[in-house]
């Protein structure tokens, strides 16, 4: 709106300057005629100056602002009016003063109109005083009215009244125009506030939408996790059912066979050995279930004591090495520290369970080759490892292998069985002892399980 108003003001002053040019040059021609008739050569010079000034203002109007053009235009017309009043009297100059006042009021507003009116009055007063004190003689027909000072004052008051009415009228239109602009500005401000409110509401809706989208994604992930957990628990119950029923059936069957009257001593010993073995398997399954429950409920306790890592690994080696005799698997052990430096403060029972679980897993999935386990000292940690040359683990399964009830879904896992709790228990024990556990594997080449424990001596 302000840009449009400035454009209107600029066009109005440009047209006023153009109309002044149309007035100046015919006036110059009339002045030439007066020279030929009356010989008033001084007026000719004044009209030439007026025409040149107006023409220069028109030519350089593009380089001036609206305010500068109005001031220049007013100055030229005040000069013309003042000099004209000296030659033709105040009545003839009055219309030029009125014109300047109107131009200032319409283009620049009431305040500049009042300033222009004051300057016009000053010009009239100066001309009247100069005439009254005899400094100049007005070149007008003064016989039709008195030329004393009081008469000039009365005329001046009449002119001030006319100017005041003109200013009031112009001010009314100016106020009307300004009020419309103010109303339009208020509407624009209201629209902007509504737009800002809509933008804020839009942002809030987008935030709510993002929140709902995140919640939906979390819900989907939670649902998928719940479904996966349900599937794993179902598979776990099936595996546990199989793992429990098998030794129970063996215990029940061979226990009944022990009551046979004609049973030989050799068969009795073999059946007893099978019952003990099945009982051990059953006890192991029940122990795993109890252990994983205590880990999940954070009720598993740690018994820290000074233990010898070499002794624990050696005992595990002798236990498993006796179990794989006759197989095409070679078991290897590595402990670089002497016994004296291999003593640390930790839970020896849980350390034995971790290594045994990882070693049992490695032997289960290795049909032939080498299984190696041991440790190395890295800074303030003992890094244990169990390395095998078995089937390996698929890339998508590595991130889930330590989850409870999870088993790699292939023929080997289904054939070899198990509850799927061994690695979960190992991970829980490692974290209880202040360590980390991870796996590196490649399908067909084998796996390496690592875990760390603080080296507390």
Higher pLDDT, 70 or 436: 436
pLDDT number for residue 344: 93
Exposure pattern of 311-344 as b/e (b: 16+ CB <10 Å)?
ebbeebbeebeeeeeeeebebebebebeeeebeb
Ranges 24-28, 38-42, 227-231, 427-431, most confident = 427-431
pLDDT number for residue 219: 86
Q: Is 70 exceeded by the pLDDT of residue 388?
A: yes
pLDDT number for residue 141: 40
Q: Is 60 exceeded by the pLDDT of residue 173?
A: no
Question: For the segment 27-65, what is each residue's pLDDT rounded down to a tens digit?
Answer: 667 666 666 655 555 566 777 887 888 788 888 888 888
pLDDT class of 224 with cuts at 50, 70, 90: confident
Distance between first and last Cα of the chain? 84
Q: Is 60 exceeded by the pLDDT of residue 242?
A: yes
Of 72-86, 88-102, 261-275, the range with the lowest mean pLDDT is: 88-102
Residue among 443, 164, 426 nearest 300 (CA): 426
What is the 8-class DSSP label of residue 388? -
CATH topology of domain 225-296: Helix Hairpins (1.10.287)
CA 450, chain centre distance (Å): 41
Question: For the segment 407-420, what is each residue's pLDDT rounded down to a tens digit?
Answer: 655 454 455 555 66
Exposure pattern of 436-455 as b/e (b: 16+ CB <10 Å)?
ebebebeeeebbbbbbbbeb
pLDDT number for residue 346: 93
Q: Is 70 exceeded by the pLDDT of residue 12?
A: no
To the question of pTM greater than 0.75 for the whole model, the response is no
Q: Are 39 and 61 in contact (CB under 8 A)?
A: no
pLDDT number for residue 45: 73
* Delimiting residues of CATH 1.10.287.130 domain(s) in the chain: 225-296
Question: For the segment 182-217, what is each residue's pLDDT rounded down to a tens digit?
Answer: 777 888 888 888 888 888 888 888 888 888 888 888
Taking the C-alpha atoms of residue 348 and residue 429, their distance in angstroms, rounded to an integer, is 11
Q: Which residues pair with 406 in a beta bridge?
A: none
* Delimiting residues of CATH 3.30.565.10 domain(s) in the chain: 305-454
Please provide the CATH number assigned to the domain covering 305-454. Answer: 3.30.565.10
| Share above pLDDT 90 across residues of the chain, in percent, rounded to a whole number | 17
Q: Is 70 exceeded by the pLDDT of residue 266?
A: yes
Q: Average pLDDT for residues 383-406, to the nearest whole number?
A: 80
pLDDT number for residue 148: 39
Of 149-153, 267-271, 351-355, the range with the lowest mean pLDDT is: 149-153
Count of residues in the chain: 457
pLDDT number for residue 149: 39
Q: Is 90 exceeded by the pLDDT of residue 165?
A: no
Q: If you average pLDDT over every residue of the chain, what do you get?
A: 76
Q: Is 90 exceeded by the pLDDT of residue 354?
A: yes
Q: Are 31 and 41 in contact (CB under 8 A)?
A: no
Q: Average pLDDT for residues 85-103, to the nearest whole number?
A: 68
Taking the C-alpha atoms of residue 11 and residue 17, their distance in angstroms, rounded to an integer, is 10
Q: Is 70 exceeded by the pLDDT of residue 156?
A: no
Question: For the segment 305-340, what is each residue's pLDDT rounded down to a tens digit?
Answer: 999 999 999 999 998 888 887 778 889 999 899 988
Residue 370 token pair:
């080498």
Taking the C-alpha atoms of residue 217 and residue 224, their distance in angstroms, rounded to an integer, is 10
pLDDT number for residue 290: 81
């Amino acid at each position: 709106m302000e840009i449009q108003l400035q454009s209107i003001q600029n066009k109005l002053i440009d047209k006023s300057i153009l109309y002044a040019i149309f007035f100046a040059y015919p006036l110059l021609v009339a002045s030439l005629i007066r020279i030929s008739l009356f010989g008033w050569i001084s007026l000719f010079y004044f009209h030439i100056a007026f025409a040149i000034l107006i023409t220069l203002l028109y030519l350089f109007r593009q380089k001036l602002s609206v305010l500068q053009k109005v001031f220049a235009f007013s100055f030229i017309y005040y000069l013309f009016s003042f000099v004209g009043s000296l030659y033709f009297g105040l009545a003839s100059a009055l219309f030029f003063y009125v014109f300047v006042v109107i131009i200032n009021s319409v283009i620049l507003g009431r305040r500049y109109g009042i300033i222009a009116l004051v300057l016009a009055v000053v010009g009239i007063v100066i001309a009247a005083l100069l005439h009254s004190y005899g400094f100049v003689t007005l070149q007008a027909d003064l016989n039709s009215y008195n030329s004393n000072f009081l008469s000039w004052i009365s005329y001046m008051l009449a002119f001030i009244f006319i100017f005041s009415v003109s200013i009031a009228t112009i001010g009314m239109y100016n106020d009307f125009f300004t009020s419309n602009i103010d109303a339009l500005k208020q509407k624009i401000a209201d629209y902007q506030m509504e737009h800002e409110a809509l933008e804020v509401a839009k942002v809030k809706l987008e935030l709510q939408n993002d929140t709902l989208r995140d919640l939906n994604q979390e819900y989907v992930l939670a649902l998928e996790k719940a479904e996966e957990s349900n599937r794993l628990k179902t598979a776990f119950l099936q595996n546990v059912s199989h793992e429990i029923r098998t030794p129970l059936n063996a215990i029940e069957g061979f226990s009944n066979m022990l009551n046979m009257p004609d049973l030989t001593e050799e068969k009795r010993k073999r059946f007893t050995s099978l019952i003990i073995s099945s009982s051990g398997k059953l006890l192991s399954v029940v122990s795993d279930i109890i252990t994983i429950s205590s880990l999940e409920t954070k009720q598993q306790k740690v018994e820290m004591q000074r233990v010898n890592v070499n002794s624990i690994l050696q005992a595990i080696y002798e236990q498993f090495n006796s179990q794989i005799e006759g197989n095409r698997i070679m078991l290897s052990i590595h402990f670089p520290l002497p016994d004296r430096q291999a003593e640390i403060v930790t839970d020896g029972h849980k350390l034995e369970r971790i290594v045994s679980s990882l070693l049992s897993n490695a032997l289960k999935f290795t049909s032939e080759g080498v299984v190696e386990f041991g440790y190395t000292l890295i800074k303030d940690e003992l890094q244990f490892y169990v390395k095998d040359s078995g089937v390996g683990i698929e890339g998508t399964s590595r991130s889930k292998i330590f989850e409870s009830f999870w088993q790699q879904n292939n023929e080997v896992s289904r054939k070899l069985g198990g509850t799927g709790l061994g690695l979960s228990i190992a991970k829980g024990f490692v974290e209880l002892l202040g360590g980390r556990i991870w796996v590196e594997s490649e399908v067909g080449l084998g796996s390496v399980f690592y875990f760390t424990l603080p080296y507390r001596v």
